């Protein structure tokens, strides 16, 4: 078992501070099983996050909000169905939020612990977290990169539409893979 690389102020390039997401270089996406034979991928085009890296990285935090109306699976008919009462019910629940409750080391990465609120239901969700690095861009801004991945059950959040298939299985799988790539810019104090 490898020991974790703990980020701290002495780590090369580590910067404590408040960060704003650069939406042009960031992505919140998902993958879900379709008809038991393939996977559908989608993304949310509008999201915000308040990221704070602390002097001790394990004390860092994030609060995020994702606009569910911005779902994009490259198929407008499917996107409209996902916005409907069958899935997200965006007229009643227009956003999904995530609030971190802690970070802990796990092998050579971290686990971001938090609470996800979706469809009016709040449940704990853990994400595998990588701190990809800290650097200065050509314009003098300090940037940081983070990757987070995880899995949720849509039924755990009350998104329990069941479209059964002849012969077993469901049109839309229950397990949803979450993939987040964030590039953030350090904000002036």
In tens, the pLDDT along 7-24 reads 554 456 889 999 999 999
How many other C-beta atoms are found inside a 10 Å radius of the C-beta of residue 60? 22
Model pLDDT for residues 25-41, shown as the tens digit of each residue: 999 999 877 555 668 89
Instruction: Give CA–CA dist 180/172, Å, rounded.
Output: 21
Closest CA to 60 of 2, 118, 3, 11: 11
Q: Answer whether 65's CB lies under 8 Å from 110's CB.
A: no
Q: What is the CATH number for 32?
A: 2.40.128.110
Q: 141 lies in a domain?
A: yes
Closest CA to 43 of 185, 184, 189, 181: 181
pTM: 0.87
Q: Answer whether 17's CB lies under 8 Å from 189's CB.
A: yes
Model pLDDT for residues 166-185, shown as the tens digit of each residue: 555 455 667 889 999 999 99
**What is the residue-level pLDDT of the chain in tens, covering all 189 positions?**
444 455 554 456 889 999 999 999 999 999 877 555 668 899 999 999 999 999 999 999 999 999 999 999 999 998 998 898 888 999 999 999 999 999 999 887 899 999 999 999 999 999 999 988 899 999 999 999 999 999 998 888 887 766 554 555 455 667 889 999 999 999 987
Distance, CA of 99 to chain centre: 11
| Domain tally, the chain | 1
Q: 4 lies in a domain?
A: no
Q: 2 lies in a domain?
A: no
Residue 137, domain extent? 17-186
């Amino acid at each position: 078992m490898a020991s974790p690389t703990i980020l701290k102020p002495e780590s090369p390039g580590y910067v404590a501070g408040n960060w704003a997401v650069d939406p042009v270089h960031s992505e919140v996406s998902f993958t879900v099983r379709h008809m038991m034979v393939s996977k559908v991928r989608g993304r949310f085009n509008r999201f915000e996050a308040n990221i704070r890296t602390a002097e001790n990285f394990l004390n860092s935090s994030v609060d995020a909000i994702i606009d569910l109306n911005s779902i994009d699976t490259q198929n407008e008919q499917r996107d409209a169905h996902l916005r409907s009462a069958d899935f997200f019910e965006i007229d009643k629940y227009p956003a999904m939020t995530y609030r971190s409750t802690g970070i802990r080391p796990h092998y050579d990465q971290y686990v971001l612990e938090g609470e996800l609120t979706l469809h009016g239901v709040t449940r704990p969700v853990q994400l595998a977290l990588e701190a990809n690095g800290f650097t200065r861009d050509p314009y003098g801004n300090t940037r940081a990169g983070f990757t987070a991945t995880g899995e949720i059950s849509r039924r755990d959040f009350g998104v329990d539409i069941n479209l059964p298939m002849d012969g077993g299985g469901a049109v839309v799988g229950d397990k949803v893979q979450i993939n987040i790539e964030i590039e953030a810019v350090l904000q002036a104090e």
